[in-house]
Chain A
Amino acid sequence: MLFQSFPFVFGLLPLTLIFFWLAPRPGQKHAVLVMASYIFYGWWNWRFCGLLLFSTVLDFVCGGLIAKATAPRQRKALLAVSITGNLGVLGFFKYWDFFADSYNRLAEMLGLAAAAPLFHIVLPVGISFYTFQTLSYTVDIYRGHATPTRSLVKFMAFVSMFPQLVAGPIVRWTEVDEQLDRLPRGIDWRTAALGLNLFILGLSKKVLIADNVFPLADPLTYAGRTAASFWPAYFLWNFWLYYDFSSYSDMAIGLGLLLGLKLPINFNSPYKSGSIPEYWQRWHITLGSFMRDYVFIPLGGSKVAFNRVLLNTLIIFFLIGLWHGASWLFVAWGIYNGIGTCGHLIAKRRGIAIKNRALARILTFGFIINAGFIFRSTDLDTTLSWFRAARGANGLGGWPDPWVMLVLGLIVVHVHFMPNAYQWKWRFTWWEGVVMALLFVACVARFFKPVEFFYFQF
Chain B
Amino acid sequence: MPQAQIPALENSVPASREKGRRHFIWVTSLLVFLLALQASFNYLVNPVATFRSNRGLGPQINQRRIKVDLLRDFAPPPEILILGSSRVRNIDPELVGRTFGANAFNAGVQNGGPRDWFAFARYSVRELDCPLRLVMVGVDPDNFLRDTVAYNHAVYVTELRNQLPHPWRDWLETRKELVSPYLTEKSWQVLVNRFQGKNAPKTAGAKLKRLHRDLLHPPPPGKKLTPRADGYFPEDSFGQGQKIKVSLGKAFSWNTPFNPEAVEYWEALAALAAERHFTLIAFVIPMSPRLEDHLDLVAPTYRSRLRDARRFLRKAGSANVVVCEIDSALLNFDDYSDLYHPGRASSESIIRQVYDCARKAGKI
- Residues of chain B within 8 A of A399, CB atoms compared: none
- Cβ contact within 8 Å between A444 and B35: yes
- Cβ contact within 8 Å between A426 and B14: yes
- Residues of chain A within 8 A of B319, CB atoms compared: none
Compute how far the CA of A428 lies from the CA of B13 in the bound complex, rounded to whole angstroms: 8
Q: Tell me if A193 counts as interface (CB < 8 A to partner B).
A: yes
- Cβ contact within 8 Å between B6 and A268: yes
Identify 9 new A-B residue pairs, CB closer than 8 A, beyond the known A190-B20, A430-B26, A445-B181. Answer: A6-B172, A190-B13, A265-B6, A426-B12, A427-B14, A428-B22, A433-B30, A437-B30, A441-B31
CB-CB contacts below 8 Å: B271-317 with A:
none
Chain B facing A: main interface SS: helix
- Cβ contact within 8 Å between B1 and A193: no
> Which chain A residue shows the least CB distance to B29?
A437
> Which chain A residue shows the least CB distance to B19?
A428
Write out, one digit per residue, whether chain A residues 280-306 have a CB within 8 A of any chain B CB (1) or not (0): 011001000000000000000000000
Compute how far the CA of A191 lies from the CA of B27 in the bound complex, rounded to whole angstroms: 14
Q: Tell me if A448 counts as interface (CB < 8 A to partner B).
A: yes
Q: Tell me if B166 counts as interface (CB < 8 A to partner A).
A: no
- Residues of chain B within 8 A of A458, CB atoms compared: none
- Cβ contact within 8 Å between A436 and B4: no
For residue B238, give the distance in angstroms from its CB to the closest CB of chain A. Answer: 29
- Cβ contact within 8 Å between A192 and B20: yes
Compute how far the CA of A237 lies from the CA of B4 in the bound complex, rounded to whole angstroms: 25
Q: Tell me if B2 counts as interface (CB < 8 A to partner A).
A: yes
Q: Tell me if B68 counts as interface (CB < 8 A to partner A).
A: no
Write out, one digit per residue, whether chain B residues 1-33 have a CB within 8 A of any chain A CB (1) or not (0): 111111101001111111111111011101100
Q: Tell me if B250 counts as interface (CB < 8 A to partner A).
A: no
Write out, one digit per residue, whether chain A residues 408-437 have a CB within 8 A of any chain B CB (1) or not (0): 000000000000101111111010111011
CB-CB contacts below 8 Å: A237-293 with B:
253, 257, 262, 265, 268, 273-275, 277-278, 281-282, 285
Contact among B20, B24, B179, B182 for A444, CB-based, below 8 A: B179
Q: Tell me if B34 counts as interface (CB < 8 A to partner A).
A: yes
- Cβ contact within 8 Å between A348 and B1: yes
Q: Tell me if A440 counts as interface (CB < 8 A to partner B).
A: yes
- Residues of chain B within 8 A of A359, CB atoms compared: none
Compute how far the CA of A253 lies from the CA of B7 in the bound complex, rounded to whole angstroms: 13
- Cβ contact within 8 Å between A193 and B12: no
For residue A344, give the distance in angstroms from its CB to the closest CB of chain B. Answer: 8
> Which chain A residue shows the least CB distance to B32?
A437
- Residues of chain A within 8 A of B27, CB atoms compared: 193, 196-197, 200, 433, 436-437, 440
- Residues of chain A within 8 A of B158, CB atoms compared: none
- Cβ contact within 8 Å between A189 and B24: yes
> Which chain A residue shows the least CB distance to B33?
A437
Interface size (B, Cβ < 8 Å)?
36
For residue B196, give the distance in angstroms from its CB to the closest CB of chain A. Answer: 25
Q: Tell me if A438 counts as interface (CB < 8 A to partner B).
A: yes
For residue A367, give the distance in angstroms from its CB to the closest CB of chain B. Answer: 15
CB-CB contacts below 8 Å: B202-244 with A:
none
- Residues of chain A within 8 A of B245, CB atoms compared: none
A interface list, Cβ under 8 A from B? 6, 187-194, 196-197, 200, 253, 257, 262, 265, 268, 273-275, 277-278, 281-282, 285, 344, 348, 353, 420, 422-428, 430, 432-434, 436-438, 440-441, 444-445, 448
- Cβ contact within 8 Å between A437 and B7: no
Q: Tell me if B255 counts as interface (CB < 8 A to partner A).
A: no
CB-CB contacts below 8 Å: B37-70 with A:
38
- Cβ contact within 8 Å between B28 and A196: yes
Top 6 closest pairs, chain A to chain B, by CB: A428-B23, A189-B20, A437-B30, A189-B21, A190-B20, A422-B7
Q: A194 and B9 in contact (CB under 8 A), knowing A268-B4, A426-B14, A433-B26? A: yes
For residue A289, give the distance in angstroms from its CB to the closest CB of chain B. Answer: 10
- Residues of chain B within 8 A of A268, CB atoms compared: 4-7
Q: A428 and B20 in contact (CB under 8 A), knowing A196-B27, A278-B1, A437-B34? A: yes
Q: Tell me if B193 counts as interface (CB < 8 A to partner A).
A: no
- Cβ contact within 8 Å between B181 and A273: no
For residue B118, give the distance in angstroms from its CB to the closest CB of chain A. Answer: 26
- Cβ contact within 8 Å between B24 and A192: yes
Compute how far the CA of A425 lies from the CA of B17 in the bound complex, rounded to whole angstroms: 16
Q: Tell me if B189 counts as interface (CB < 8 A to partner A).
A: no
Compute how far the CA of A136 lies from the CA of B284 in the bound complex, rounded to whole angstroms: 63
- Residues of chain A within 8 A of B5, CB atoms compared: 268
> Which chain A residue shows the least CB distance to B26?
A433
- Cβ contact within 8 Å between B21 and A193: yes
Compute how far the CA of A273 lies from the CA of B5 in the bound complex, rounded to whole angstroms: 11
> Which chain A residue shows the least CB distance to B11?
A425
- Cβ contact within 8 Å between B6 and A285: yes
Q: List 16 A-B contacts (CB under 8 A).
A: A189-B21, A190-B17, A190-B19, A193-B13, A194-B20, A196-B27, A265-B7, A268-B7, A274-B1, A348-B1, A422-B9, A430-B26, A433-B23, A436-B27, A444-B35, A448-B181
For residue A271, give the distance in angstroms from its CB to the closest CB of chain B. Answer: 12
Compute how far the CA of A268 lies from the CA of B27 in the bound complex, rounded to whole angstroms: 26
Contact among A193, A422, A434, A438 for B24, CB-based, below 8 A: A193
For residue B22, give the distance in angstroms from its CB to the closest CB of chain A. Answer: 7
Compute how far the CA of A273 lies from the CA of B3 in the bound complex, rounded to whole angstroms: 10
For residue B10, give the distance in angstroms from its CB to the closest CB of chain A. Answer: 8
Contact among B2, B6, B18, B20 for A274, CB-based, below 8 A: B2
> Which chain A residue shows the least CB distance to B28?
A196
Q: A440 and B31 in contact (CB under 8 A), knowing A190-B20, A193-B21, A275-B1? A: yes
- Cβ contact within 8 Å between A193 and B23: yes
Q: A281 and B20 in contact (CB under 8 A), knowing A193-B13, A437-B30? A: no
Q: Tell me if B176 counts as interface (CB < 8 A to partner A).
A: yes
- Cβ contact within 8 Å between A273 and B4: yes
Compute how far the CA of A437 lies from the CA of B18 in the bound complex, rounded to whole angstroms: 19
- Residues of chain B within 8 A of A423, CB atoms compared: 7, 12
- Cβ contact within 8 Å between A441 and B3: no
Compute how far the CA of A285 lies from the CA of B7 in the bound complex, rounded to whole angstroms: 13
Q: Tell me if B99 counts as interface (CB < 8 A to partner A).
A: no
Compute how far the CA of A420 lies from the CA of B4 in the bound complex, rounded to whole angstroms: 13
Compute how far the CA of A138 lies from the CA of B43 in the bound complex, rounded to whole angstroms: 55
- Residues of chain B within 8 A of A281, CB atoms compared: 3-4
Q: Tell me if B180 counts as interface (CB < 8 A to partner A).
A: yes
- Residues of chain A within 8 A of B184, CB atoms compared: 445
For residue B315, give the distance in angstroms from its CB to the closest CB of chain A. Answer: 30
- Cβ contact within 8 Å between A426 and B13: yes
> Which chain B residue shows the least CB distance to A281?
B4
Compute how far the CA of A159 lies from the CA of B137 in the bound complex, rounded to whole angstroms: 54
Compute how far the CA of A89 lies from the CA of B180 in the bound complex, rounded to whole angstroms: 41
Compute how far the CA of A278 lies from the CA of B4 in the bound complex, rounded to whole angstroms: 7
- Residues of chain A within 8 A of B179, CB atoms compared: 444-445
> Which chain B residue shows the least CB distance to A282?
B4
- Residues of chain B within 8 A of A441, CB atoms compared: 31, 34-35, 38
- Cβ contact within 8 Å between A434 and B20: no
- Residues of chain B within 8 A of A348, CB atoms compared: 1
- Cβ contact within 8 Å between A448 and B13: no
Compute how far the CA of A285 lies from the CA of B6 in the bound complex, rounded to whole angstroms: 10
Compute how far the CA of A434 lies from the CA of B33 in the bound complex, rounded to whole angstroms: 11
- Cβ contact within 8 Å between B12 and A278: no
- Residues of chain B within 8 A of A425, CB atoms compared: 12
